[in-house]
């Protein structure tokens, strides 16, 4: 599979050289995305790709915004930061009209740690990036910057031959390349993923391709889910959250389910350090807790413990592909395995998904030996054999599959008992005390599961 | 508010320069303390301030020692280290009589890690402190040392013009500046907070000011509580702990509730590193667990995870006020936010307390929108706006308040059900199996809550 | 006690010098092992010691292999890595026949991280070890290498005067010092502890001495248990695991219970870094979780938190005996205290065991004040007084003993209630729903406890 990529890469490079034209045949973006957007990957320009991506990204019919249960999601003040595209308004209390330079000056006093973090960022040090030498772990950033400039030229945001001087407050919070002063009361925006994706088009397209590659063989989940690309939609479509009168508690789920909307859950503002986001702790704030205890499992594993012991000796500035050989890494991270697919790294993290965190979702367990699933298992073996033999990898993955099925069977056995008790009215206080749930939740044995997915887990209802 | 401090600071500095006399108008100590101790902050000397503080600190009527339930707290051998002022006696098995130098020599063999740690401490390296240059992160220690010497001169422990040579075993464990040999069987002491406070007068006074600033509008908690300054009192006055026949288990709470008595819970002996105590883990050994899971909440938050990822790259030697700009810190720590008040840092950690960790304590929730509480919320906004906009800070704090109230309402609903079951004798085995609790605990639905506070949580008794 | 060792060490060194002959009077190996193996420690050669050790190690009657419940332990594919001596077969899919050099070359592509890790190891850098200078923290490795070469000469694996050039893939996975090409389908092995012990004879002998020193006064546990030396036996002899139809879940316990079989649980392949294995996280992957939550207790303690805060500043390359003085360590680690015995460090970790993690195992609590136990307590005091006074150490250990007894009493009180309910058939659904457990587990109130020990915890059956 890896082999199939190279002709495309070479062709793309030659294409770029020969005609000098911008193109957006991004090797790490799967065909499925180009097909879904009806784009010819050999010919599409960065501008065209971005426009097509943004059109879908902003389309309420395709997952943007408040969703079909919007009437139940009474906005809370903090919500403007969770879905800025829907809720954010420029501040009215601050009347300042400020230039690019004045933003920095004033916020050095007003919110100094913003400015300190930004000053450490690549955004504020583009010349350092340009001067990187081959052999330095971050040398890849030089090519990345050139790619970004090509994107901006294609979109008419940089003139031919013009270089990007810096990325400052005003570029993200007002307009990329803004020349005019900005009025706080009218011009300030909270950057959404499409804004980041203007420059970081490859990463945006990779992430958006999750919609096109997380397609289940029997609709176990809706198309494109679960994924980061549609995680806000998953949240707002969950009836049990929508139904809760305790709006602040419900929005506790939204706190993490914002990767669809913005990029700073992993790339903490305002340094946006890739080195930081490669660390497993970057994933932990969301991927933890009783309903998806990935961090707990990982951090107590040998893999996680080695990162805990030795991680501070490694060079996290090395890109994921060089993490072991150049970064000195000796154990895998969340990003290292989940962003990898057949030897390539991208922001699509769902191409090897088989269990999707919730084995009890109907159809998941039944699917685990399907051809669809076995193909994904094979891709996992590619991942694991960086460090393990194929026999080790396959026997371990087999252990995990079977152990999961065994746990699921025990769960279903217990669940059937409880369901029967429910049907016979024998649960404590069931007949007299249990209030009907508020709409849109419906009465019944199983409410929609709090699995952050919006999926009805009918496995909970064996005889309904 | 910040503005109000400066005239005082300038006046204090001028005063010191002009009359050359020792004074103890410590800018970081609130007026409330001077008023409570009936001291004129413009005129009081370090000696007078220390004496006034120690008088209150050692007064059983004001919280020192075994408390009103002493008869129930059967001492255990280890208890001499938890409340040394009450229980510690010099060892009888060691008959050595040793000089300042001999202490170090002998303990290099007897308990080598004590000596190794001390040798790394500022205590053992005062000349290094004196030679610090402006621009070094720990330069503030030079001024601190001068302040300490001024304190010691005021108290007659250093002659005019005399400098402190070192702080060794004998200074803390026998007498500050001890010239004579010390007899282990008679002279050895465990240093209590007032001993540390002889040199570190500002820190001691700041800490003691918690008694004067943690005053609740409707006596929700006793004056000065909860706080580090009275945490041992809170412990020994808790009837349920006093009542336990399992004395070692009860003293499990005392293990943390010793900040009133001594300083080494945060400043681990014998290096007493301020850099270490600034780290959030320094707070974690006590502020964790089911009854006050602050560490669990913090360490899994984005704030905590950034410290986990990047903390080892920061310079923790920088004082808290320089943590971001000089230390390179990019996320807040426990100390950074809780020791801050209106832009100043001190050992008083209760001036922004509003919820006090236990929302169900009667009167806490009702108070959360009071003028008293709103003023403290405003102080939190000052803290948060180092890194966030005011709108972000206020909407987030609002989210937290409302979420807490929603959780509390759910708790109260459940509690009312259980209470009714209790009243009707329907709890499992309630009528026949439940023994009367040992004195001083009293029978009833709610025993005194294990909230380490000694407060009767009558919220648990909705209809009593 | 420490005194008694020195004459032996000196004699051993002189012996080595005078007669130039290989000997295996290893100071850190207790007499009990030599006696159990009927070896004269003054005369035994490395070859003889290794042979005697291996004979016992591989003897099914003395704990090797599948044990007495083998018929129930249906092998799973991954099991070949858990007990390689019993289950591992060379791979059949890979037909390569490779030389020492070709192993490395081919696996640089096939499983690159193996090779990268190995290249960082001492195994791949023996010349660096030989060139270590006195004063370097790892200088002890030079003597260790010489000792290893002496062992290999005694066993005829190195010629007189010949030095070890490297330890490569082929040495561990085919044969130490292999000169011929190796056929994957026939020659590949997974190294077991005795393979590692060929070179690392002292460490292997120390570890195996756990069998001879973990002898309980009243057979509370079988001889030599609990220990790393017999932890696989403990696992396979546990009836409740043997009985489980869910084989992958049962083998979840085996995942850790493999220290008997191989060394890489602590010394992660393929760097086998001693520095890494000294860190407390190396113990955590196994010593954690509800049934032995040692990591949870340690990592939240002051000891553990200091390691968390400061550990990355210490030099973990220093051997345990130098950890404080040379490594700069300021708090104890698992290894630092549990591998120490009377001032010496070894791979026998059970010589101070008194509670053995499970206070409820019959006879443990009753034994805690016995002469046997008090002697071990005295050895703990030697450990603790590196950093604490004897009075502190004894009072703290007393607190822990009494607190444990108090907790145990509460547990037994609750257990008696549940047992009585069981006898009267009052447990929920007991009479109709509870299936007979599969063989070899037997019906009754208490199944064999899931304490990973194979011990019947009859304490659970107060009136049986």
For A72-122, the pLDDT digits (tens) are 999 999 999 999 999 999 999 999 999 999 999 999 999 999 999 999 999
Q: State whether residue C341 is helix, strand or coil.
A: strand
Do A117 and B330 lie within an 8 Å CB cutoff? yes
The DSSP secondary-structure symbol of B280 reads: T
- φ/ψ of B341, rounded to 5, equals -150, 115
Quick one: what percent of chain C has pLDDT higher than 90? 83
Question: Is A325 at the interface with chain C, CB within 8 A?
Answer: yes
Helices C46-57, C140-154: axis angle to 10 degrees equals 80
Please name the residue that has the structure tokens 């959030």.
B280
Q: Whose CA is closest to A52, among A169, A194, A152, A183?
A: A194
The CA–CA distances, whole Å, from A396 to A305, A393, A402, C232 equal 19, 5, 10, 19
- Mutation test of the interface with chain C: which of B75, B78, B87, B271, choosing the one with the most C Cβ atoms within 10 A? B78
| Angstrom distance (rounded) from CA B84 to CA A272 | 50
Residue B5: its pLDDT value, please? 58
Question: Is C111 at the interface with chain A, CB within 8 A?
Answer: yes
Using CA coordinates, name the residue in chain B closest to A264.
Answer: B302
| Residue C455 clears pLDDT 60, i.e. is over it | no
Residue A418: its pLDDT value, please? 86
| Angstrom distance (rounded) from CA B261 to CA B192 | 6
Question: Is B385 at the interface with chain A, CB within 8 A?
Answer: yes
Average of per-residue pLDDT values in chain A:
91
CA A464, distance to chain mean position in Å, is: 35
Are β-strands B182-183 and B97-98 bridged in parallel, bridged antiparallel, or unpaired?
A: antiparallel
Do C77 and A399 lie within an 8 Å CB cutoff? yes
Residue B72: its pLDDT value, please? 96
Instruction: Give chains near C: 3+ CB pairs under 8 A.
Output: A, B
Residues with Cβ within 8 Å of residue B146, at least 6 apart in sequence = none
| Angstrom distance (rounded) from CA A288 to CA A9 | 37
Q: Is B137 within 8 Å of B315 (Cβ atoms)?
A: yes
Do C387 and B111 lie within an 8 Å CB cutoff? yes
Q: Which residue has the higher pLDDT, B436 or C8?
A: B436
Do B111 and C308 lie within an 8 Å CB cutoff? no
Domain A16-210 has CATH 2.130.10.10: no
Which of C246, C276, C284 is facing A406, going by the closest CB pair? C246
Q: Is A163 within 8 Å of A149 (Cβ atoms)?
A: yes
**Helix, strand, coil share of chain C (percent; to 5):** 50, 0, 50
Q: In this structure, how many other beta carbons lie within 10 angstroms of the beta carbon of residue C115?
A: 20
- φ/ψ of B229, rounded to 5, equals -70, -25
Contacts of A251 in chain B (CB under 8 A): 399
| H-assigned helices in C353-389 | 371-384
Residues with Cβ within 8 Å of residue A420, at least 6 apart in sequence = none
- φ/ψ of A238, rounded to 5, equals -80, 115
Q: Is C287 within 8 Å of C311 (Cβ atoms)?
A: no
Q: Is B324 within 8 Å of A112 (Cβ atoms)?
A: yes
Is the Cα torsion angle A95, A101, A103, A104 positive or negative in sign?
Answer: negative
Do A403 and C248 lie within an 8 Å CB cutoff? yes
Angle at C60 between CA C56 and CA C61, to 5 degrees: 80
End-to-end CA distance of chain B: 44
Q: What is the dihedral of CA A298, A302, A304, A305, to 10 degrees?
A: 130
Question: Is B74 at the interface with chain C, CB within 8 A?
Answer: no
Contacts of C399 in chain B (CB under 8 A): 76-78, 248, 251
Do C251 and A399 lie within an 8 Å CB cutoff? yes
Residue B14: its pLDDT value, please? 52
Is the Cα torsion angle A25, A26, A28, A29 positive or negative in sign?
Answer: negative
pLDDT-based confidence at C18, cuts 50/70/90?
Answer: very low
Question: Is C255 at the interface with chain A, CB within 8 A?
Answer: no
Do B399 and A78 lie within an 8 Å CB cutoff? yes
Question: Is A279 at the interface with chain B, CB within 8 A?
Answer: yes
For C337-353, the pLDDT digits (tens) are 999 999 999 999 999 99
- C350-388 core/surface letters (b: 16 or more CB in 10 A; e: else): bbbbbbbbbbbbbebbebbeeeebeebbebbebbbbbbb
DSSP state string for B195-239: HHHHH-HHHHHHHHTHHHH---TT-SS-TT-SSSTTHHHHHHT-H
Q: Whose CA is closest to B392, among C248, A269, C311?
A: A269
Q: Which pair of tokens denotes residue C442?
A: 């037997």
Nearest-CA distance A35 → chain B (Å): 37
Residue C24: its pLDDT value, please? 87
* Predicted ipTM beyond 0.90: yes
Helices C390-423, C371-384: axis angle to 10 degrees equals 130
- Mutation test of the interface with chain B: which of C393, C399, C421, choosing the one with the most B Cβ atoms within 10 A? C399
| Angstrom distance (rounded) from CA C53 to CA A21 | 73
| Residue C11 clears pLDDT 60, i.e. is over it | no
| Residue C458 clears pLDDT 50, i.e. is over it | no
For C212-222, the pLDDT digits (tens) are 999 999 999 99
End-to-end CA distance of chain C: 44
Which of C78, C252, C295 is facing A396, going by the closest CB pair? C78
Residues with Cβ within 8 Å of residue A42, at least 6 apart in sequence = A11, A15, A23, A25
| Angstrom distance (rounded) from CA B329 to CA C40 | 61
Q: Which pair of tokens denotes residue A56?
A: 């879908």
The CA–CA distances, whole Å, from B451 to B231, B238, B360, B361, B457 equal 12, 9, 10, 9, 9
Q: How many residues does chain A have?
A: 464
Question: B445 pairs with which residues across the strands?
Answer: none
- A169-190 core/surface letters (b: 16 or more CB in 10 A; e: else): bbbbbbebbbeeebebeebbbb
For B410-442, the pLDDT digits (tens) are 999 999 988 888 888 887 766 766 678 889 988
Helix (H) or strand (E) holding B373: helix B371-384
Instruction: Give chains near B: 3+ CB pairs under 8 A.
Output: A, C
- Mutation test of the interface with chain B: which of C293, C302, C413, C421, choosing the one with the most B Cβ atoms within 10 A? C302
Report, as ranges of residue numbers, the positions in chain A whose pLDDT lies below 70.
1-21, 428-434, 446-464
- C305-315 core/surface letters (b: 16 or more CB in 10 A; e: else): bbbbbbbbebe
Region of residue A429 (phi > 0: left; psi between -120 and 50: alpha; otherwise: beta)? left
Which of C248, C276, C281 is facing A399, going by the closest CB pair? C248
- Mutation test of the interface with chain C: which of A399, A400, A421, choosing the one with the most C Cβ atoms within 10 A? A399
| Angstrom distance (rounded) from CA C264 to CA A64 | 50
Q: Is A449 within 8 Å of A457 (Cβ atoms)?
A: yes
Q: What is the largest CA-CA distance in chain C?
A: 77
Using CA coordinates, name the residue in chain C closest to B245.
Answer: C406
The DSSP secondary-structure symbol of A99 reads: -
For C188-205, the pLDDT digits (tens) are 999 999 999 999 999 999
Which of C301, C325, C388 is facing B285, going by the closest CB pair? C301
Q: Which pair of tokens denotes residue C81?
A: 């890595």
Q: Which pair of tokens denotes residue B55?
A: 């008088």
Q: State whether residue B183 is helix, strand or coil.
A: strand
Nearest-CA distance A411 → chain C (Å): 13
Q: In this structure, how many other beta carbons lie within 10 angstroms of the beta carbon of residue A442?
A: 14
Contacts of B435 in chain C (CB under 8 A): none
The CA–CA distances, whole Å, from A100 to A29, A167, A176 equal 34, 10, 11
Residues with Cβ within 8 Å of residue B236, at least 6 apart in sequence = B66, B67, B69, B70, B73, B242, B254
pLDDT-based confidence at C12, cuts 50/70/90?
Answer: low
- Mutation test of the interface with chain B: which of A88, A116, A245, A283, choosing the one with the most B Cβ atoms within 10 A? A116
- 10-residue mean pLDDT profile of chain B (464 residues): values are 53 49 89 98 97 98 97 96 98 94 96 96 98 96 98 96 96 97 98 98 98 97 97 95 95 97 97 97 96 95 97 97 96 98 98 96 96 98 97 98 97 89 78 78 66 42 30
Model pTM score: 0.93
- φ/ψ of A97, rounded to 5, equals -115, 115
Question: Is C412 at the interface with chain A, CB within 8 A?
Answer: no
| Angstrom distance (rounded) from CA B69 to CA B236 | 7
């Amino acid at each position: 599979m890896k082999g199939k990529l190279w002709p495309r890469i070479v062709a793309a490079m030659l294409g770029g050289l020969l005609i000098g034209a911008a193109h957006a045949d991004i090797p790490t973006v799967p065909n499925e995305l180009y097909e879904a957007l009806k784009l010819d990957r050999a010919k599409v320009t960065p501008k065209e790709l971005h426009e097509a991506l943004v059109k879908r990204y902003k389309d309420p019919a395709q997952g943007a915004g408040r969703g079909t249960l919007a009437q139940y999601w009474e906005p809370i003040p903090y919500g403007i930061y969770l879905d800025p595209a829907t809720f954010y308004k420029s501040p009215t209390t601050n009347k300042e009209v400020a230039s690019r330079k004045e933003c920095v000056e004033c916020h050095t006093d007003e919110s100094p740690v913003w400015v300190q973090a930004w000053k450490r960022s690549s955004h504020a040090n583009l010349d350092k990036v340009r001067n990187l030498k081959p052999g330095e772990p971050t040398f890849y950033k030089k090519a990345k910057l050139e790619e970004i400039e090509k994107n901006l030229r294609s979109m008419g945001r940089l003139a031919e031959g013009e270089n990007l001087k810096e990325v400052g407050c005003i570029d993200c919070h007002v307009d990329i390349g803004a020349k005019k002063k900005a009025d706080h009361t009218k011009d300030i925006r909270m950057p959404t993923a499409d804004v980041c994706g203007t420059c970081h088009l490859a990463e945006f397209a990779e992430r958006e391709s999750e919609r096109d590659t997380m397609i289940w063989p029997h609709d176990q989940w809706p198309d494109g889910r679960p994924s980061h690309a549609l995680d806000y939609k998953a949240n707002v479509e969950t009836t049990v959250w929508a139904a809760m009168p305790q709006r602040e508690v419900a929005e506790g789920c939204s706190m993490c389910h914002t990767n669809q909307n913005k990029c700073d859950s992993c790339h903490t503002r305002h340094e946006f350090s890739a080195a930081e986001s490669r660390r497993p702790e970057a994933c932990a704030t969301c991927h933890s807790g009783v309903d998806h205890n990935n961090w707990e499992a990982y951090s107590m594993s040998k893999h996680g413990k080695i990162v805990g012991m030795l991680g501070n000796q490694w060079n996290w500035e090395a890109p994921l592909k060089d993490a072991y050989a150049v970064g000195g890494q000796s154990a895998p991270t969340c990003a290292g395995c989940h962003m990898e697919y057949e030897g390539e790294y991208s922001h699509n993290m769902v191409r090897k998904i088989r269990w999707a965190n919730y084995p009890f979702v109907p159809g998941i367990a039944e699917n685990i030996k399907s051809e669809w699933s076995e193909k994904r298992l094979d891709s996992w073996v590619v991942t694991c054999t960086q460090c393990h033999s194929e026999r080790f990898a396959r026997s371990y993955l087999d252990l995990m599959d079977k152990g999961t099925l065994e746990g699921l069977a025990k769960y279903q056995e217990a669940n059937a008992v409880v369901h029967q008790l429910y049907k016979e009215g024998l649960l404590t206080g069931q007949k007299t005390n249990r209030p009907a749930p508020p709409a849109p939740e419906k009465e019944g044995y199983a409410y929609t599961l709090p699995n952050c997915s919006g999926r009805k887990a009918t496995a909970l209802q064996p005889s309904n």
